[in-house]
Amino acid sequence: MKPGSSSVLIPFVITLLLSFLWATSAHTHEDFLQCLTLHAGNSTSSISQVIYTPANSSYSSILEFSIQNPRFSTPATPKPLVIITPLHVSQIQSAINCSQKHGLQIRVRSGGHDYEGLSYVSDVPFLIIDMINLRSISVDAENGTAWVESGAIIGEVYYGIAEKSIKFGFPEGLCPTVGIGGHFSGGGYGTLMRKYGLAADNIIDAQMIVVKGRILDRKSMGEDLFWAIRGGGGSSFGIIVAWKIKLVHVPSTVTVFTVNRNLEQNATKLVYWWQHVADKVHEDLFIRVVLTSANSSQEGRRTIQASFNSLYLGGIDNLLSLMQESFPELGLVREDCTEMSWIESVLYFGGFPSGESLNVLLNRTPLIRPIFKAKSDYVMEPISEVGLEGIWERFYEKEAETALLIFTPYGEKMSEISESAIPFPHRAGNIYKIQYLVYWEEEGIAATERHISWIRRLYSYMAAHVSKSPRAAYMNYRDLDIGKNNKKGKTSYRRASIWGTKYFKSNFNRLVHVKTMIDPTNFFRNEQSIPALTSW
């Protein structure tokens, strides 16, 4: 063991490698930039205002601004040759045309929340098209629809709707900084999902740019491609510029509660029982469970805390009688509950203190931005108390001090929509989804390995308790552990279907078909992009 010498050598080798890659791609990159300015015609001056290369002083801050997982923000993380922050659709067209011509790959970024950093990291020479400047929102409150540009974050969508009408909301996610480019194209769920389904279930039109710079809307793209981008991930098919969404009705008063129970307060039994009611209660009621380890009231001992975190679309009185009927074991009392407006509940679930101004929804910088690794599972049969206790044991390990499990209930609208309506296939038969999250602060490979190893061990333990063949996963919780495409060369259908069927079940086949039609040369690709059949 010579830890000293390897820690000196590794950065050296990486630097060598990087400068070599840089030299070989510098040529392509110059040609690409020249192509862009030529293509842009008389709008040359405006395109130069949105092009950043490492020579520009703000390159790093633009790159870092939307990196939501610092695991992919180290000196060793591959960086883009160019970042473009388009102001006009024509600049995206030019960027696509010139990248195709000069063999550069494109990564598209909206909010930068991709769990594996795929919107801003690549092993091959690449550029980032960062949609941050294309984020206008236009709400038609009369017709209950809105056009939203894909660079907007979900907080801006909530805000834009609330500004126009308190009668409408939209079934999107909980964390306001999430971008709608990735979120809507991968599904997108939140507290309204049991009543209205996913964000992707409520998209009625889209504007996107595909290979050769063609601009399409729902009519010109056809129903196959329009189907694919609502849950199949946008990045395999092109660049989505805007979505047209159907707004949903929300009542003037909603009620929220968060009730914590630890093991001494029967947490195990309560979680066990929750599994029997969570997907069956009224569609107006959403109760998720957040599990963490915590200090016990007994000095020096650890316990598990189950946090029952809920939105009810109505007032306290109705909620209390519903809970008495369906989940009396929780012992919910009036004092646990708070009535508020729908938009205030958005702030509540976003983690903001009560009384916070709605303007915080416009802030693209999250409250915290920790290093993390996540995974997901679907549960179709309740897990036994003994099975749950196996989870608790793993939570007492050192790596799990700041780990988190989130159980999100399905049922109602989620079960009514057919498995093939959009590519997102996790419908009837699922009681709830599990998200596993582990966070850490220490930098460096050793800390990363310890924490990732912990979450993989937990995932492996869970195999017996969750969906099988396929063991399903949620695409928006991207996880490269479940399979990825070849680094170089072509990826076979067989290889891609390893991860593809987990995210999409049998919808994977139709996605491959659409991909083959729209992008036969597989220009838009990444570690988990849908393969084109012609590239076998």
Ligand X SMILES: Cc1cc2nc3c(=O)[nH]c(=O)nc-3n(C[C@H](O)[C@H](O)[C@H](O)COP(=O)(O)OP(=O)(O)OC[C@H]3O[C@@H](n4cnc5c(N)ncnc54)[C@H](O)[C@@H]3O)c2cc1C
Closest contact distance (angstroms) between CB of 134 and ligand X is 8
Burial of 460 (0-12, 13-18, 19+ CB in 10 A): exposed
Segment near ligand NAG (CB under 6 A); pick from 4-12, 13-21, 93-101, 499-507: 93-101
Which residues within the stretch 203-222 sit at the binding site for ligand NAG (CB under 6 A)? 212-213
Mask of contacts with ligand NAG, 23-42, x by CB under 6 A?
----------------x-xx
Which CB sits closer to ligand X, 134 or 263? 134
Which residues within the stretch 132-151 sit at the binding site for ligand NAG (CB under 6 A)? 140, 142-143
Which CB sits closer to ligand X, 174 or 361? 174
Which CB sits closer to ligand X, 286 or 454? 286
Segment near ligand X (CB under 6 A); pick from 56-64, 235-243, 250-258, 455-463: 235-243
Which residues, including other chains, have CB under 8 Å from residue 214's CB and lie 6 or more apart? none
Tokens of 230: 């609502």
Could you give the angle at the alpha carbon of 278 between the alpha carbons of 272 and 281, nearest 5°? Answer: 135
Closest contact distance (angstroms) between CB of 437 and ligand X is 9
Distance CA 392, CA 164 (A): 46
Amino acid at 322: L
Closest contact distance (angstroms) between CB of 248 and ligand X is 16
Verify binding: residue 173, ligand X, rule CB under 6 A. Answer: yes
Q: Which of 77, 253, 265, 516 binds ligand NAG (CB under 6 A)?
A: 265
Distance CA 135, CA 137 (A): 7
* Pair 172, 265: CB distance under 8 Å: no
Pairing of strands 285-295, 145-149: unpaired
Verify binding: residue 91, ligand X, rule CB under 6 A. Answer: no
8-state DSSP, 410: -
Q: Which of 80, 171, 176, 188 binds ligand X (CB under 6 A)?
A: 188
Pairing of strands 82-84, 126-130: parallel
Q: Which of 143, 148, 140, 194 is nearest to 171 (CA)?
A: 194
Q: What are phi and psi of 35, to 5 degrees?
A: -60, -45
Question: Does 477 participate in catalysis according to the annotation?
Answer: yes
Of the candidates 410, 477, 493, 503, the residue annotated as catalytic is 477
DSSP for 202-271, written as a single string: GEEEEEEE-GGG-EE-HHHHHHHHHHHTTTS-GGGT-EEEEEEEE-EE--S-EEEEEEEEEGGGTHHHHH
Verify binding: residue 90, ligand X, rule CB under 6 A. Answer: no
Which residues within the stretch 267-306 sit at the binding site for ligand NAG (CB under 6 A)? 295, 300
Verify binding: residue 194, ligand X, rule CB under 6 A. Answer: no
**Binding residues for ligand NAG, per CB under 6 A?**
39, 41-43, 48-49, 51-52, 55-56, 90, 93-94, 97, 140, 142-143, 212-213, 265-266, 295, 300
**Binding residues for ligand X, per CB under 6 A?**
68, 107-115, 118-119, 131, 150, 173-175, 178-179, 181-183, 185-190, 234-235, 239-240, 476
